[in-house]
Structure formats: C-alpha cells, structure tokens
Amino acid sequence: MSNVQIEHLFKKYENADEDTLKDINLQIDDKEFVSIIGPSGCGKSTLLRCFAGLEKITKGKVLVDGERFDNIPPQKRRIAMVFQDYALYPHMTVYNNMAFNLKLSKLSKEEIDKKVKKAAEKLGLSEFLKRKPAQLSGGQRQRVALGRAMVRDPKIFLMDEPLSNLDAKLRVSTRQDIIEMHRQLGTVTIYVTHDQAEAMAMSDKIVIMKDGIIQQFGSPDQLYDQP
Ligand code: ADP
Ligand code: ADP
C-alpha cells in the first residue's frame, strides 16, 4: 500500500526566467489512477520527472507513505516509469530489455526468468522474446516497455504520454493493458496525457494543469459537472 503527497513543490530550470512548477500540492491515495492533463509546456513532464528523481526539485517535497522520497535510496524506490518513446535498449533482445533492471537486483536467474516470462505472457509478447526492438511494431515495443516496468513490482507507476506514438486503434487496446496492469499490480499510477478523453476514461482522479499550477483536481464526474 502506498500514498503520495506532493507539498509546495517548485521547479525552476537553471536557464529559465521563471518557475516551471509553482507551488504544486497533491494528495494521491493508495491504488489511485491519476491523470495529469493540460496544454503542451504547462509542466506535466517536469512534474513527473521531479517525482521520479530524474530532475532536481527546487523547493518543496515529495512524500511516499509519509517518507521523503529523496531520502529513500534509489534501489529501494519501488517506482517504474514508461516514456512516450519507449526508451528500450536497441541492441538487446526483448527478453533482456525486460530482465535488465532485475539483473541489477539480488534475484536469481530462475526468479528473473519466471518474472519475465509471466509478464511476457500477460502482454502477449511470449513469441517475441528473442527479437530486437527494431523487429517489433510500435504497439509491441510499448508493451515491452510496460513489461520492463511490470517486472520491477513497482508500488508507483509513472507514465509520460505512453500511447501518443501509437495509432488510434492500438491506443484503445493498450489503454486496456495499462488499466489491467494498474489493477493487478495495485499501484498508484500517475499518467500524463494531452488527451482529455483518454484521461476521462482511465482515471480515478484528474489533475488539470496550466502554466505550472494545478487548476483543478477531482474525479472525472466532478470535473465534468463543472460549467
Ligand atoms: P509538458 O510536459 O506539459 O508539455 P514540460 O514539463 O515538458 O511541459 O515543460 C514545461 C516548461 O519547462 C516548458 O516551458 C519547457 O520549455 C520548460 N523545460 C522543460 N525542460 C526543460 C529543461 N531541461 N530546461 C529548461 N526548460 C525546460
Ligand atoms: P534500480 O533497478 O536499482 O532501481 P535503475 O537503474 O533501474 O536501478 O533505476 C534507477 C532510477 O531510474 C530509479 O531510481 C528510477 O527513478 C528510474 N526508473 C524507474 N523506472 C525506470 C524504468 N522503467 N526505466 C528507466 N528508469 C527508471
């Protein structure tokens, strides 16, 4: 179980004139699926990257289960991230892409093998394990990225526009994969998208951002009901 609290978070990039994130406050409960929407450049990716520790926070804090996230050693942070461009290792097979993070852990070869094969089966990738990413379609590549995240047993799952490189039909089916994965893993999922319909369909709560601030936060029903 885990909950997430973002308190008075500010981010200013070194070369920027003003803050990109301005006093972000957010409370996310256990197992919630939260989407972040808003126009391009409003700070969605920055918020996610600050959360993941990929970007330095200027001021404020991120708490997971009440503990400052930056105090948790990176290898103990049960967090996984999926990006728009998949970020797969091109020279590695599907199997090794999915196993890569686990090989850095203390798990035995057999345990790693079991996890990778289980995830591959769930995602319909079993017959592609020996291929390289270049020999896969965009949808299959994104499922490899999901699988690589899934085997880490994350408690928090961060996704930055994971469907935006897929065609319309694949977007809908991969949506289902993501929702299923979220439910099975029982994670907190934070999902960045510019697609409002997607956010409405997938989320327990939606964050609407504009110019580095949170404009609205609520369930799809609550937001939909507003004038
Ligand atoms: P979004 O994900 O909502 O499109 P971003 O978080 O990518 O927005 O960007 C928010 C703002 O921060 C933009 O004005 C962007 O130009 C700026 N920005 C993003 N990354 C950097 C960076 N590494 N250095 C300086 N400015 C950046
Ligand atoms: P470990 O598996 O020991 O946590 P990694 O090198 O895999 O080490 O991760 C280092 C950092 O990369 C993590 O602390 C996390 O912030 C970030 N990260 C998390 N999930 C992923 C992912 N799926 N792909 C790339 N980086 C990730």
Atom 23 (ligand 1) nearest CA: 13
Cα separations (Å) of 58 from 20, 43, 112, 218? Answer: 10, 14, 37, 26
Task: Provide the 10 A C-beta neighbour count for residue 65.
Answer: 13
Residue from 185, 183, 184, 202 nearest 193 by CA = 202
Q: Which ligand is nearest to the CA of 16?
A: 1
Q: Reply yes or no on whether the pLDDT at 159 is more than 70.
A: yes
Q: Reply yes or no on whether the pLDDT at 156 is more than 70.
A: yes
Domain spanning 1-226, CATH class:
alpha beta
| Least confident range of 40-44, 80-84, 97-101, 127-131 | 80-84
Domain ranges, ordered by start, for the chain: 1-226
Atom index in ligand 1 nearest the CA of residue 192 equals: 2
Res 205: pLDDT: 97
173-203 pLDDT, tens digit per residue, is 889 889 999 998 899 999 999 899 999 999 9
125-144 pLDDT, tens digit per residue, is 999 999 999 999 988 999 99
d(CA 88, CA 132): 10
Give the helix/strand (H/E) hosting 120. helix 109-122
Confidence of residue 227 (pLDDT cuts 50, 70, 90): low
Q: Predicted ipTM?
A: 0.68
User: What is the rounded average pLDDT of the residues 53-80?
Assistant: 90
* Ligand 1 neighbourhood includes 39 CB (under 6 angstroms): no
Atom index in ligand 2 nearest the CA of residue 80 equals: 20
CA 28–ligand 1 middle distance (angstroms): 23
Cβ atoms of 139 and 174 within 8 Å: the answer is yes
Res 72: pLDDT: 87
CA 178–ligand 1 middle distance (angstroms): 25
Cβ atoms of 192 and 1 within 8 Å: the answer is no
Atom 24 (ligand 2) nearest CA: 81
Q: Reply yes or no on whether the pLDDT at 75 is more than 80.
A: no
Residue from 182, 187, 163, 183 nearest 174 by CA = 163
19-43 pLDDT, tens digit per residue, is 999 999 999 999 999 999 999 999 9
Pocket test for ligand 1, best of 15, 46, 83 (most atoms within 8 A of CB): 46
Res 166: pLDDT: 84
